[in-house]
Amino acid sequence: MATAASAHPTACLALSDGTVFYGMGFGATGQTVAELCFNTAMTGYQEIMTDPSYAGQIVTFTFPHIGNTGTNPEDDETADPVAAGMVVKWMPTDPSNWRATQHLSEWLAARGRIAIGGIDTRRLTRAIRQQGAPHAALVHDPDGNFDVKALVAAARGFAGLEGMDLAKDVTCAQSYRWNEMRWAWPDGYAEQTEPQHKVVAIDYGAKRNILRCLASAGCDVTVLPATATYDDIMAHQPDGVFLSNGPGDPAATGAYAVPMIKDVIAKTDLPVFGICLGHQMLALALGAKTTKMSHGHHGANHPVKDMDTGKVEITSMNHGFAVDSQSLPDGVLETHRSLFDGSNCGIRMEGRPVYSVQHHPEASPGPQDSYYLFERFADAMAQRSAKEPA
């Protein structure tokens, strides 16, 4: 079945079940194949496209006004877009925002990312919700020449995210220091000049705003590649270890990440804090299991309940795998739970400052309900330092 958005379409989206959508292409020309997901956030399309957790995925935006604020260098979460492609309802208009420096289409084209507009995103989103995240092929050809059979075959040939270790593709090549804090009016991003805690952040696909939140919480941050070993970490004599967000199957990345995390927990009393893939890595290291979700959680409006306080936080999420709460071993407590589907959104070790959450407390994009988690990490490091002999 095909749906036509224009008499002369210049882009085509083909799903693995044979469904084909025609629309108008923008951004780069060419073809890409990936898993198709949807994101319900009303803001932050630039941050979403540059979030390394979207590696291997084409993002359908349910909010129709994508591109109306343009793009700018400050809002990138990594150097270049990582999401494979973009699907929107309406073609981007000329930007109307004082911070804009480039049109969305120009920004995508310069970075080799394909986009399609004029799509019935409500219908597409319903299909994803009902049938699960499909594999899809997206092509942008200004001449409108599409080999639909080949596109459907390409979508069906995509291996899928299960078993894929994508963290190794998006992690940093070498270690680096980070001292930039969160954006604040009127000066923008300020530098952390008086850090209180030395933190090693393991980069499975870290977003810049997470690192900024750590710096704003008083941390002197050193970022290490995803393959960093226990000895690599301890060489920096950290006060705490942070496990970042990232893409792909946590079980695949866990092949090398889990042994390191186990060593940190077993051999030290360092506070450990994980987000997103880092949450899943910690759970695996503590003996739990992870599962592939039907269509995942992607948006900036997800209600999560803090099981300790009863408080409900509105959170930003981006994940296609989840920790199986039924597999949590003794001594590991569930701290947060999704109020959408009851899936696990947080864990902690009993009696240890070792914890993690599935959602994104850095809120880029999204609400700021969960910023306190960075302060909790800083407080745990301060308490540990206070106990050490002078």
Q: Which residues contact 178 (CB under 8 A, 6 or more apart)?
A: 201, 211, 212, 214, 215, 221, 222, 223
Catalytic option among 35, 77, 313, 362: 362
User: Strand (E) positions, 48-179?
Assistant: 57-61, 85-87, 114-117, 135-140, 176-178
Give the count of alpha carbons within 13 A of 270, CB side only. 27
Distance from C-alpha of 99 to C-alpha of 46, rounded to nearest angstrom: 13
Contact 236, 322 (CB under 8 A): no
User: Strand (E) positions, the chain?
Assistant: 2-3, 11-15, 20-27, 30-39, 57-61, 85-87, 114-117, 135-140, 176-178, 180-184, 188-191, 197-203, 219-225, 240-243, 272-275, 290-306, 312-323, 332-338, 344-349, 354-357
Q: Which residue has the tokens 């739970």?
A: 337
Residue 360, helix vs strand vs coil: strand
* Residue 279 annotated among the catalytic residues of the structure: no
Q: Which residue has the tokens 């319903």?
A: 126
Q: How do 114-117 and 272-275 pair as beta strands?
A: unpaired
* Residue 313 annotated among the catalytic residues of the structure: no
Structure tokens at 157: 């040939």
DSSP string, 45-58: HHHHHT-GGGBTEE
Please report which helix (H) or strand (E) contains residue 125, including its range. Answer: helix 121-131
Q: Which residues contact 341 (CB under 8 A, 6 or more apart)?
A: none
Catalytic option among 197, 276, 279, 313: 276
Distance from C-alpha of 118 to C-alpha of 89, rounded to nearest angstrom: 5
Q: Which residues contact 181 (CB under 8 A, 6 or more apart)?
A: 189, 190, 191, 192, 212, 215, 216
Catalytic option among 135, 298, 302, 360: 360
* Residue 336 annotated among the catalytic residues of the structure: no
Q: Which of 248, 329, 326, 324 is nearest to 286 (CA)?
A: 329
Distance from C-alpha of 16 to C-alpha of 157, rounded to nearest angstrom: 8
Active site residues: 276, 360, 362
